[in-house]
Amino acid sequence: MTMEHGTPGEAEAEAEDYGSWTLKQRIDDIVNSDPINNVLPKHPEHRAYFEKKLKEKLEGFVCVAQPKLLPVLLKDNVKHFYQVYNLCSRFMGIRNLLYPDLLTNMASFNALRCARVALEGTSQLRGRHADPNILHRYGFSPLHVAAENFNVAMVKLLFRYGTSANIRTKGSRVIEGLLPLHVVVENATMHKYLEDHWAGGDSIIRLILLLCLPEMKIFLDTIRLIAKHTDNIVDEVCGYIHDERL
């Protein structure tokens, strides 16, 4: 951490030195930024400008583009997705509509075909592609959403395009520090099917019987798949139980 960000004294010196930047340094600072992927300029003024513009674009996406795209995602219609995407891009002046919100919406609706082309970055999307690891503005990843809904096919698709099972939730709108594994395990244990069939008899025998039922397959398949890609699996599960969050 110290090596990456420097000491407080170095940070202050760097901040004080922004005013003496050359024109080339200022241009490089802007050119090397990628606001969509949360890579913002270092210069405070440049950073504030990009944050403001990004907020405006995101608000436009949420208010204008997203309502048009949601019915398309519900039907998982790739042709209509391309049409709406390009229409919104042209008239809203947004070069890249593949915001984190959009990919998480695809995961929520299990829109596999649309998610695949968004992750690939096809020619119809002008080569731009969605980042499978970027967090939604509320602090969770597409994999968290797929895990929550037990979308095995979506989980497999996200892993195929490089998503990580070790990204944690972050922000004031979510319970922080949750892995997709935590989400899928907790949702499985709280599912109504388990509640309806748990009471009565020996708890261990009841658990074994429940795990053998066909209705449990989708839960277990999702958990196994995510657990396979989760680092320090035993420590994570034990820590979650000891924190009394499960």
Residues 5-16 have a mean pLDDT of 43
Angle (nearest 5°) at CA 44 between 42 and 45: 120
Q: Which of 69-78, 128-137, 159-168, 236-245 has the lowest mean pLDDT?
A: 236-245
Report CA torsion sign: 189, 191, 194, 199.
positive
- Residue 59 pLDDT > 60: yes
More confident residue, 215 or 166: 166
> Measuring CA to CA, how many Å separate 201 from each of 12, 32, 191, 196?
66, 63, 19, 13
pLDDT per residue over 64-121, tens digit each?
A: 777 888 899 999 999 999 888 877 776 655 555 556 678 999 999 999 999 999 999 8
Farthest CA pair distance, the chain: 76
| Per-domain boundaries in the chain | 22-131, 165-245
First to last CA, the chain: 31
- Model confidence band, residue 1 (pLDDT cutoffs 50, 70, 90): very low
The residues near 115 (Cβ < 8 Å, ≥ 6 apart) are 103, 106, 107, 130, 142, 154, 157, 158
pTM above 0.85, yes or no: no
Q: Supply the DSSP symbol for 174.
A: S
Report CA torsion sign: 62, 60, 171, 98.
positive
